[in-house]
């Protein structure tokens, strides 16, 4: 794709506006061959197309398809029908190429439907097809943050759009677009965790502010192991930055936390052996904390009280 950004021009805006925002009611034709626009062409119209005649989208931005979400979509289609048609372009006689709506097309196929409502639009080049496919998918499909980031990056590198132009076309501000693209700088293991929803976007952005991959992975592991809040990671990252990106500051912080946790776990085990029931020790960063002795009946409570009284007598 060697064309410049200007080659997309107003043509892309017109395509996006017509395929995404056009809410005019258009009647279907039972015979597709008889359905044409005002110019007598089979394009920029709404029709029912055989699912077997629709070719895959070579620029599909979605990397993963959640089976549970697909089942939900199938149930919705059975109950309410297809609310939003898919979008295709005509490639050759009686064949079409998918632009957006892969999940909807998959759902129709799995339900055994033979035809699917489709917008047939004219796309003059593969570059415009790529831009249109990415933008429609970003707006219509439930892409995960990494898929969105990769779509933005492709719009910049392959369609030569600026961050400002992308933001304008998808209705976001430029800062949001820039911050999303930055997610691709995270180590692969953290990107995967974000896709699998093991961490949130807030965690990912906070981790990204750490100065190197080693610290980013260390922070990610601690988020998963200890369920650290976004605020905690942000605070630690600020501490590292204020120390002149001194990595030892964060490493020491996490190491001390690990030692404290090991000590508390050992203490819980000792108390549990003494009282014969579950004991929980919670300690705050300032050293303060609490010890919780659990009981499950009045008899067990009496037993614990007697044990404490006995210990008190020995101390006295």
Please list the pLDDT of the chain residue by residue as tens digits (316 residues). 444 444 444 444 544 444 444 433 333 443 443 444 444 454 578 888 999 999 887 776 666 677 888 888 899 999 988 888 988 888 876 789 888 888 899 999 999 999 999 988 888 777 777 777 777 777 766 778 998 898 899 888 888 889 998 888 888 899 999 999 999 999 999 999 999 888 999 999 999 988 888 888 888 888 887 788 888 888 877 877 666 555 555 555 555 454 445 567 777 888 888 888 888 777 665 667 788 888 888 888 888 888 888 877 777 6
CATH fold of 5-142: 3.90.1530
Q: For residue 159, how many other CB atoms are within 10 A of its CB? A: 22
Candidates 25, 31, 72, 102; catalytic one? 102
Output the pTM of the full model.
Answer: 0.56
Q: Where are the alpha helices (DSSP H) in the chain?
A: 9-20, 67-80, 102-111, 126-140, 145-157, 163-170, 174-182, 188-195, 201-208, 213-226, 230-242, 247-275, 298-315
* Catalytic residue list contains 30: no
Written as six digits, the tokens of 100 are: 């957006």
Closest CA to 220 of 175, 183, 180, 256: 183
The residue ranges of every structural domain in the chain are 5-142, 264-315
DSSP for 59-116, written as a single string: T-------HHHHHHHHHHHHHH--SS-EEEEEEETTEEEEEE-HHHHHHHHHHT-SEE
Written as six digits, the tokens of 154 are: 């492709």
Say how far apart CA 157 and CA 187 lie, in whole Å.
21
For residues 183 and 146, the answer to whether their CB atoms sit within 8 Å is yes
Written as six digits, the tokens of 223 are: 């988020």
């Amino acid at each position: 794709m060697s064309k410049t950004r200007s080659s997309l021009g107003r043509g892309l805006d017109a395509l996006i506006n017509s395929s995404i925002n056009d809410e005019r009611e258009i009647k279907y034709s039972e015979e597709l061959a008889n359905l044409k626009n005002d110019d007598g062409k089979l394009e920029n119209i709404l029709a029912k197309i055989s699912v077997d005649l629709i070719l895959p989208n070579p620029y599909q931005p979605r990397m993963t398809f959640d089976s549970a979400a697909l089942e939900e979509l199938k149930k919705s289609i059975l109950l309410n029908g297809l609310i939003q048609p898919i979008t295709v372009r005509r490639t050759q006689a009686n064949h079409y190429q998918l632009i957006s709506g892969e999940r909807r097309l998959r759902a129709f196929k799995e339900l055994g439907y033979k035809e699917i409502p489709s917008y047939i639009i004219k796309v003059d080049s593969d570059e415009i097809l790529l831009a249109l496919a990415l933008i429609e998918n970003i707006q219509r499909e439930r892409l995960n943050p990494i898929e969105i980031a990769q779509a933005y990056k492709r719009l910049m590198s392959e369609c030569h759009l600026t961050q400002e132009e992308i933001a304008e076309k998808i209705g976001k501000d430029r800062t949001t677009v820039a911050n999303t693209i930055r997610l691709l700088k995270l180590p692969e293991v953290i990107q995967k965790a974000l896709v699998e929803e093991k961490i949130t976007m807030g965690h990912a952005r906070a981790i990204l502010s750490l100065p190197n991959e080693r610290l980013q992975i260390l922070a990610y592991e601690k988020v998963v192991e200890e369920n650290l809040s976004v605020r905690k990671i942000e605070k630690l990252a600020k501490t590292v930055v204020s120390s002149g990106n001194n990595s030892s500051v964060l490493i020491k912080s996490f190491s001390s936390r690990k030692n404290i946790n090991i000590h508390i776990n050992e203490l819980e085990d000792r108390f549990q052996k003494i009282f014969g029931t579950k004991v929980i020790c919670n300690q705050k960063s300032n050293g303060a904390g609490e010890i919780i002795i659990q009981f499950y009946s009045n008899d067990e409570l009496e037993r614990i009280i007697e044990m404490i009284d006995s210990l008190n007598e020995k101390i006295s």
